[in-house]
Structure 1
Amino acid sequence: MKSTLILNCILLAFFLFTSFHSKAQCDCDHTINPSSNLQVLNGDDFNYQPGDTFCLMGGQYNALRLINFKGTAEAPLTFINCDGAVNIVSDQYTGMQWRESAYVRVTGTGDENEEYGIKVSETPTGRVGISVTFLSTDFEIDHTEISGTGFAGIMAKTDPECNDDRTWRENFTMYNIIVRDNYIHDTGGEGMYLGGSFGYETTSKSCDGIDDPFAHFMVGTKVYNNYIEDTGWDGLQVSLGDETTEVYNNTIYGYGTSKENNHNAGIQLGSGCTGKFYNNKVIQKPDYALEDQTGIQIINALSGLTFFNNVVAYSGEFGIWIHLRFSDASIDLDKSYNFINNTIIEPGGNSGGNYGTGIFWNTCIPNGGDCRDYIKNYFANNIIVDPGINLDNSGFWKSAEEAFIDYNAKALRETAVKVTNLFARTTASGVNNLTADIKFADPSNDNYSILEGSTAIDAGTDVSSYGVSFDFNNGARPFGSGFDIGAFEFGATNQAPIASISVDKETINSGETVSLNGTASSDPDGSIIKYAWTVKSGPSSPTIQNADQASATVTINEPGEYVISLEVTDDLDASASDEITITVESAPLSVGDALNNPSLITSIYPNPTNFGIVNLELNKESGSLIDIEVFSITGASLFRNRITYIENNTQVNLSHLIQGEGSNMVMIMIKGDNDYAVERIILK
């Protein structure tokens, strides 16, 4: 008992110290300072706990290599800028490289004056801005700005190594890579490079004397709310992601600036990937548009893939290009490849050539293989305007319609499932009646939402069974009498989420901690970007830890009822809230093996008292926590509380507890760290 009491006191002292220390250090548990040299930091050299915060102090860094930092799913480690922006400038290394690390958040939200508080503004040829590599997993990267890199802006993958079977597919999976709210621009390679490029069925990795290894799969990848501009190669590349992959609400403006063959797509979907790709805007700039260039390029994706609500404009050749080259063994023939409610503008029209289609579908195995017209597809509710090629009266098996959705073989056209797509062309004088009837809101500023009277309104097919229940602006579909065609639903509004709170206990003793768990459900048209916990009412104002996270904690010392609220906000600023009441009871005062120390109480006055307030003077430092319990002469507990002792200003109100007890005396027990004292109070 005595050892437990001492331990509790030590923990209390540690809490008080670290609370003060953290406040002085931007709520940091550890700090990392700028340096003109490469810093190699190993987690083994830090005395850290899951949930700790590492502050990157503002200033210029050369490069950071971080090894073996591991939080937990419930308590990830946070690396955040503090006291200004972090700027990494390196002429030799990757800006920030992570190795053998897990459950880490890298965030540039440490300074309210900096939208992107962590910046990488230069790396040499072949080097990355931020790299999550070599057996690292479960990472979140947000509010960073990356530019001037010799290769990719953000990369997350572990390449298989011949001499290390830990890196092989059968032994490693990369989970929960979340990349959101970043600004990536002017990179030498891809804006983002997520997942390996060593194949799904076959691998390009060659190892002498052993089986050639494959790259790992990715599970739980989410990429959203990023702005990517002027990337040397592809804007965003994802490979080997399973059905949980989601890429949404990203803007890619200008890509393939180096005009490198095979590396010039806005979004590149690599081998073995599937999932949902939606509400992305991919706009090519005229200076970078080339023949043989795509807005969205898909090679050897897995079935079940769904692209919807995307806007693709001015791609050099194809709006969306799909080629499935691997064998049927890798395809679930019961699932289709789905392209729904996309708006595609002028594919091929900016390259100066005479070719380019809205969507190109190719399932033919190269070098004379089967073209497999039985692989399922679904093209529904797409708007496609002004493809670069015109197949009117071509004299070939292709008709004028194949300029909008094209196929590598006639058999593929015959089995394609096309439903309520809207095709249009402009004329030399500007726009023909059909295009005018679509009524884009402001195409000169890349606004392809539709206005009242558009022929796209209510003209689409119900595609809710494919998970399409909202539009590009996260407004609910359908609005009106049916689904609209294209990425936008006229008149639709954002749906608010529904917030919900659960706690591990609703009644606690003073000094205990409550775990708060928040969820935001029924928000099919958006994603939650903000959690905000607050104490709305109560006898005191305890601090909520992790108040901006879905899960938080609060320790409450003073008895009473506390109303705690959670507000959640989605990416279109719709919000909802929930609240819960926590009842805090006075904790029983356990003396245990504590020492009786009469000198603990210096004075209690007035004593006698007329059922009123008494003042405490104790042999304790101001700021110490003390426990108080008042007993009747029969031993019944009348009052308990835990308070902070403030010298010359600590009072106890006894009137509401002792009147009518039928006695002219009570006993008050004061408990400090490891001692206690009892004093009688005379009532008159």
Structure 2
Amino acid sequence: MKNPTLNCFAAVIVMSAFTMCTKSEFKTPKKTSSVVQTNDTNLSSQTLAVNSITVQPSQWYVDGTNLPAGTVIYIPAGTRSSLLLKNITGTAASPIIIINKGGKVTFSTSVTASYGFKTQNCRYFKILGNGDPSVEYGFNVNGGNIGMTMDDLSSDFEISNVEVRNSGFAGIMAKTDPTCDVATQRGHFTMQNVILHNNYVHKTGGEGFYVGNSFYADGRSLSCGTVLPHDVINVKIYNNRIDSAGCEGIQVGAAILGCEVYNNTVTSPGLSPFASGQNNGIQIGEGTGGKCYNNLVKNAPGNGIIVLGLGDNQVYNNFILNSGANGIFADSRYTPGPNFQFVNNTIISSAADGIKMNSTTIPMNTVINNIIVQSGSGTAIRKINSGVKLTASNNYIGNDTNALNFANYAADDFHLLSTSPLINAGANTSVYGVTLDYYGKARPSGTAYDIGATEY
């Protein structure tokens, strides 16, 4: 780093423009040495001696240009206004840690404010709301047009144990939209290592999670011509709860490599979409490949899961319940890859089709070991026309959820009873990498694979 100490670091401290009209005094944080212990999976076994600073309630931004790698930024418990972190750069081995101290921190601002929590030109950092073991979500972001936004060329970050609510648009956003500044465009900037886990996002005006640009193929038409959005590499979105989002619960675009969306619970998304087709549970968008698995999606007014991805997409072990359109909808837009794979999903009570495929340019669509029950249209698996290439086998299609013999379907206990007709009735899907079930149990547990997302 440019400066190994904090002696040259100066943070301009002003009273929040969102709530106050006076300014506090100019201050330079003192260098301190401290020890931090967190519950993060990457840090739980370590005790790190680090430099640290504390962000006071009157500060609305921190410029970390001269902060050394490994610094811990403490935010003390209490209610405060929005916070902007800019020019904070750690390293892969020693990221900057932003963590709550002494209890819950609430960032409260008007829904018309630009953001509740924002990073600008930051890299290698972690925002962790696990500073107090008695508080599950140590950071609580209430309001802002975007609750949390990681943009302006931010990359290589982790966000966990954060609650985001009552945002005007997206809950948690991670992307830098392309402009006429070439630094923002594909080939010049790549957002990578985006890890979002164990967060609770609810009551958002738009998407719960919005990662990557939605228009990978065509980009944006600006005064300087057509500009293409940056790639996203290595996205992991897992163990999050999303409830009552205005648009999709989770939307990922432009994630060309290493994308995994798993172990999330999405309930009641798409309550007030800005346009038609934005009321789905999970959207695997343009330019996105990878895996979508072990998610629970309930009560989406549109499709439970919509796949517009690259064509190296695997969708498996998901429970998709009570969708207002199709359980799964697949479309081929920018889709150079070889296969859409829909394996061992459980789709119940979709108002339209169970799985609908408009994916005509995909060399093969694979539909194996899925439960499709109570499709409103009466069609479990629909091809838009004969141009859709399909391999389908060992799917259970019916009209009676009770016949599946779940332990307690009404309470979301999807373990199978010994009398279930799904047991040992599936094809071997290990070739597709499906070797565990929704609960993490090894497949097969008996003489053959079971159908659906859970193994007896």
Q: TM-score, normalised by structure 2?
A: 0.87
Per-residue deviation, 1:22: 7.6
Distance 1:448 1:404 in 2: 21
Report the equivalent of 2:324. 316
Per-residue deviation, 1:20: 6.3
Q: Equivalences for 1:391-406 in 2 at 5 Å?
A: 403-406=379-382
Counterpart contact for 2:177–2:213, Cα < 8 Å: yes
Does the alignment pair 1:422 with 2:396?
yes
Per-residue deviation, 1:242: 2.0
Structure-2 change in CA distance of 1:18 and 1:39 (3 Å): closer
Q: Equivalences for 1:53-452 in 2 at 5 Å?
A: 53-91=72-110, 92-123=113-144, 127-162=145-180, 164-197=181-214, 199-203=215-219, 205-208=220-223, 210-260=224-274, 261-284=276-299, 290=301, 293-299=302-308, 301-326=309-334, 330-332=335-337, 335-348=338-351, 356-363=352-359, 371-372=360-361, 375-390=363-378, 403-412=379-388, 415-426=389-400, 435-452=401-418
Structure-2 change in CA distance of 1:28 and 1:88 (3 Å): farther
- Give 3-state SS (helix, strand or coil) of 2:304's partner: strand
Does the alignment pair 1:462 with 2:428?
yes
Counterpart contact for 1:58–1:81, Cα < 8 Å: yes
Paired letter, 2:287:
G
Distance 1:136 1:275 in 2: 22
Per-residue deviation, 1:447: 2.8
Query: Greater Rg, structure 1 or structure 2?
Result: 1
Per-residue deviation, 1:28: 6.5
Does the alignment pair 1:34 with 2:68?
no
Distance 2:320 2:330 in 1: 15
- Give 3-state SS (helix, strand or coil) of 2:330's partner: strand
Counterpart contact for 1:43–1:66, Cα < 8 Å: yes
Deviations 1:170-203 (A, max 9, x none): 1010000000000111111110000012x23322
Per-residue deviation, 1:145: 0.4
Deviations 1:564-609 (A, max 9, x none): xxxxxxxxxxxxxxxxxxxxxxxxxxxxxxxxxxxxxxxxxxxxxx
Per-residue deviation, 1:84: 1.7
Per-residue deviation, 1:48: 2.5
Q: Percent identity?
A: 37
Deviations 1:367-423 (A, max 9, x none): xxxx44x62111000001100113xxxxxxxxxxxx0011111343xx410010000
Counterpart contact for 1:141–1:178, Cα < 8 Å: yes
Counterpart contact for 2:67–2:88, Cα < 8 Å: no
- RCO (CA 8 Å, sep 6+): is it higher in 1 or 2? 2
Distance 1:447 1:422 in 2: 19
Per-residue deviation, 1:121: 1.3
Q: Give the total of aligned pairs.
A: 412
Structure-2 change in CA distance of 1:215 and 1:21 (3 Å): closer
Per-residue deviation, 1:19: 4.8
Per-residue deviation, 1:88: 0.6
Distance 2:406 2:34 in 1: 57
Counterpart contact for 1:63–1:93, Cα < 8 Å: no
- Give 3-state SS (helix, strand or coil) of 1:305's partner: strand
Distance 2:273 2:252 in 1: 20
Counterpart contact for 1:189–1:233, Cα < 8 Å: yes
Identify the structure with the greater helix proportion: 1
Counterpart contact for 1:147–1:185, Cα < 8 Å: yes
Q: Equivalences for 1:451-490 in 2 at 5 Å?
A: 451-490=417-456
- Give 3-state SS (helix, strand or coil) of 2:222's partner: coil
Counterpart contact for 2:61–2:85, Cα < 8 Å: yes
Paired letter, 1:72:
T
Per-residue deviation, 1:27: 7.6
Counterpart contact for 1:22–1:28, Cα < 8 Å: no
Gaps of 5+ in 1: 1-16, 349-355, 364-370, 391-402, 427-434, 491-684
Paired letter, 1:320:
I
Distance 2:102 2:174 in 1: 28
Q: TM-score, normalised by structure 1?
A: 0.58
Per-residue deviation, 1:448: 2.8
